[in-house]
Amino acid sequence: MSDVTPPEPIYVTRPHLPPLAEVTRLLEGVWERRILTNGGPLHQQLEEELAAYLGVEHLALVANGTLALLIALKALRLQGEVITTPFSFVATSEALSWNGLEPVFADIDPHTYGLDPASIEACITPRTTAILPVHCYGFPCDVEAIQRIADDYNLKVIYDAAHAFGVECHCGSLLQHGDLSVLSFHATKVFNTFEGGAIICPDAKTKKRIDRLKNFGFVDEVTVAANGINAKMSELHAAVGLAQLPGIDAAIAERQRVAEAYRDQLTDLPGLLLPEFGQAQRANYAYFPVRITDQAPLDRDQLVERLRAEGIVPRRYFHPLIPEFQYYRSNASADPKRYPVAAQMGREVLCLPIYPELSSADLQRICRAVRAAITGSSPDQP
Ligand SMILES: *Cc1c(COP(=O)(O)O)cnc(C)c1O
């Protein structure tokens, strides 16, 4: 009976693009110089501008976040077991496996979604050499408790900060914690260079080591001193990054607008828990994870079905959990009894669409559909 065209689907995210004219202007310089990669001038400029924006001293650009993780782990010359989270994107564990390190899955905290310090401590063995936590959704981990454990047991800490661009805790940039932090600039992240990533380094010496590792281990034309890889960011990607940076504060402010609208409109729904955004001084609103608990009249997967029927495509980050993937099932710590909180969150969390250009009309559509699914009312009613 309906002769109106169905509305466009609303996805969990929509990549943020810089003004094309600005990218083109930067690319004209590339065409003149014919320097396309290998630490060209745009790459150098983006490293400097990002370090200044993020409030860190040393930063090495990398071709993507996964290679950034691989190199960060390599740079610390780790062996044996590394304690990490089952509640993340699979690349977190894959970076360990590629380095011949064994992921040991610990449990998470239900408020921060980051590793639970008590669970980390329970997982330590004589073979443990490091901890690889994730600032999940950009919510800060309990960085102080994690550092205390690392100090007590002489462990390295590498933060997967793929979600945490621009997040500040009480002491400034969240990225300063741990031995190294790793960012992703993938299309779906808060700050994107289409593909890209970075490693935050504590000092110039570490940055030098990382700069060599990302360029085949070359020290100079005739010297290879480490088992390096090619993980350099090209001038094209750096141009996109330079064009993105001036707009990033406005983009994060738009994300905040969306988060606050959800907060206003999704209150008082039985069994729907809203995110707490951790103890961030400055959040980045990268995701809007809600929990559908057993107090709700339908479960998370039923809500997904209902929303999809309305053309709304949220994502179940993170389901399946990493140890549930076939490749990790044989891992000695891949037992959900070891991480009951992560297992519960894997069943309950749903990330609602959030991105700078999400219109008020689309927001209303999402909130009406969520409300209708939970209260049983019709989504057409305003
Ligand atoms: C996106 C992401 C990565 C991987 O980053 P890429 O740039 O896509 O390689 C790693 N860890 C987490 C938690 C991520 O969300």
Extract the tokens encoding 256: 């905040």
Q: Are 241 and 343 in contact (CB under 8 A)?
A: no
Ligand 1 centre distance from Cα of residue 134 (Å):
10
CA 37, 38, 41, 44 torsion-angle sign = positive
Q: How confident is the model at residue 360 (pLDDT cuts 50, 70, 90)?
A: very high
Task: Report the nearest atom of ligand 1 relative to the CA of 67.
Answer: 9
Ligand 1 centre distance from Cα of residue 244 (Å):
19
Ligand 1 pocket mutation pick from 132, 141, 160 by most atoms within 8 angstroms of CB? 160
The verdict on pTM exceeding 0.95 is yes
End-to-end CA distance of the chain: 21
pLDDT tens-place string over residues 100-145: 999 999 999 999 999 999 999 999 999 999 999 999 999 999 999 9
CA 235, 176, 66, 213 torsion-angle sign = positive
Q: What CATH topology corresponds to 20-246?
A: Aspartate Aminotransferase; domain 2 (3.40.640)
Task: Report the nearest atom of ligand 1 relative to the CA of 184.
Answer: 7
Which residues form the pocket of ligand 1, taking CB atoms under 6 Å from any ligand atom? Answer: 64-66, 88-89, 91-92, 134, 160, 162-163, 184, 186, 197
Residues with Cβ < 8 Å from 23, sequence gap 6 or more? 239, 240, 243
Q: Are 231 and 63 in contact (CB under 8 A)?
A: yes
Q: Assign domain 248-375 to its CATH architecture.
A: Alpha-Beta Complex (3.90)
Q: How confident is the model at residue 37 (pLDDT cuts 50, 70, 90)?
A: very high
Domain with CATH 3.40.640.10 in the chain: 20-246
Ligand 1 pocket mutation pick from 183, 184, 322 by most atoms within 8 angstroms of CB? 184
Domain with CATH 3.90.1150.10 in the chain: 248-375
Task: Report the nearest atom of ligand 1 relative to the CA of 136.
Answer: 13
